[in-house]
Amino acid sequence: MVTVISRIIHYGFKNFWRNGLLSTATVAIVSLCLVVFAGLILANTTSSRLIGFLQDKIDISAYFKTNTPEDEILAVKSALEKLPEVKSVDYISTEEALAIFKARHENDPAFSQSLEELNSNPLEASLNIKAKDPKNYEVVAEYLKNPDIAQYLATDNPVTYYNKQAAIDRLAGIITGVDRIGLVLTILLSLVAGLVVFNTIRLVIYSNRDEISIMRAVGASNTFVQGPYLMEGLIIGVISAVASLLFIFLGFLLVPLFYPGVTALGIPDFSLFGYFGSNFFSILMYQVLFGVGLTVISSLVAVKKYLRN
């Protein structure tokens, strides 16, 4: 058994090297397919992080009348925190609102002078409410319309999330469309790559037809005849997977040199290159599984078709 396996591996590598130019072209086509496949993985990760980051920026700001007792505001805060749809509620007192306003306009003397002339704090206390899911803001907004709460609110329309949510929904729709295009492109390239591997193995089998006839004449099993060509497909798949990740790595190094802004995704604590590096072996595993599956299946179909003829 060990002898058979070692010979299959030996003849598989021999076929690969003997058809150097054809093997190289096949590796290039399969690598291109795998680059698109890995790009789809990275794009999905980036879009998910981006949508999550933007959705985290959505909230409801409920402003209270300046004469509202703090105990009433804290009671509303406590009631909101008990809602299953609510993720967090931050209370900003009038003093904190004033400090934030001063820090935001510290370089604008006109605002500072206006506040000094007022001799009072005109800003309102507020609650910044974040929901667990953007779809839950409707529930929170309706809850704030309760007369027991609405009587303390400074405005009849405390909701500030609608415009943001509409923009994020449009962005999500665009990203979904791009992901679908990437998926279709991956499928098309997979079909092309599979066809190339199929024809490559068929050409190799045709060039070795006399050798195969002799092997079958002396009683070689179908496994022994098929093995080297399946091994060749395996080799093509593994080399293509490694080559595709090498191309992506070079892309991460070279593209920012010409387009520096491409890495500025604006997502805190997230770097596409960092994600690629920290998940390198996981991505490599996906690439190898996809590449080997594609090439081995194509090789198997080609060999089966020849043996039936």
Which residue's structure tokens are 């490599």? 284
Which residues, 6+ apart, have CB-to-CB distance to 149 below 8 Å?
76, 79, 143
Instruction: Return d(Cα 303, Cα 6) in angstroms, integer.
Output: 20
For the segment 29-57, the average pLDDT, to the nearest whole number, is: 81
Euclidean distance between the first and final Cα of the chain, in Å?
A: 28
Distance of alpha carbon 304 from the chain centroid: 38
Residue 239: the pLDDT is 92
**Which DSSP symbol is given to 124?**
P
Minimum mean pLDDT range among 69-73, 98-102, 169-173: 169-173
Q: Is the pLDDT of residue 155 over 70?
A: no
Which span out of 88-97, 148-157, 171-180 was modeled with the highest average pLDDT? 88-97
Residue 187: the pLDDT is 83
Each residue's pLDDT tens digit, 21-32: 888 888 888 888
Mean pLDDT of the chain: 79
Beta strands in the chain (DSSP E): 60-63, 86-92, 126-131
**Which DSSP symbol is given to 105?**
T
For the chain, which residues make up each domain, given as ranges? 2-54+167-255+265-308, 59-160
Q: Is the pLDDT of residue 119 over 70?
A: no
Which residue's structure tokens are 């093997």? 23
pTM, rounded to two decimals: 0.70
Residue 17: the pLDDT is 84
Each residue's pLDDT tens digit, 268-277: 777 777 888 8
Measured N-to-C along each axis, helices 222-258 and 20-56 cross at an angle, to the nearest 10 degrees, of 50
- Banded pLDDT at 261 (limits 50, 70, 90): low
**CATH architecture classification, 59-160:** 2-Layer Sandwich (3.30)
- Banded pLDDT at 242 (limits 50, 70, 90): very high
Cβ atoms of residues 252 and 273 within 8 Å: yes
The enclosing H or E element of 223 equals: helix 222-258
Q: In what order do the strands lie in the sheet with 86-92?
A: 60-63, 126-131, 86-92
Which residues, 6+ apart, have CB-to-CB distance to 83 below 8 Å?
139, 140, 143
Which residues, 6+ apart, have CB-to-CB distance to 261 below 8 Å?
none
Whole-angstrom CA distances from 163 to 56, 89, 240 are: 14, 21, 46
Instruction: Return d(Cα 241, Cα 248) in angstroms, integer.
Output: 11
Comparing 301 with 241, the larger pLDDT belongs to: 241
Instruction: Return d(Cα 160, Cα 137) in angstroms, integer.
Output: 10
Q: Is the pLDDT of residue 161 over 70?
A: no
Which residues, 6+ apart, have CB-to-CB distance to 301 below 8 Å?
198
Q: Is the pLDDT of residue 1 over 80?
A: no
Amino acid identity at 53: F
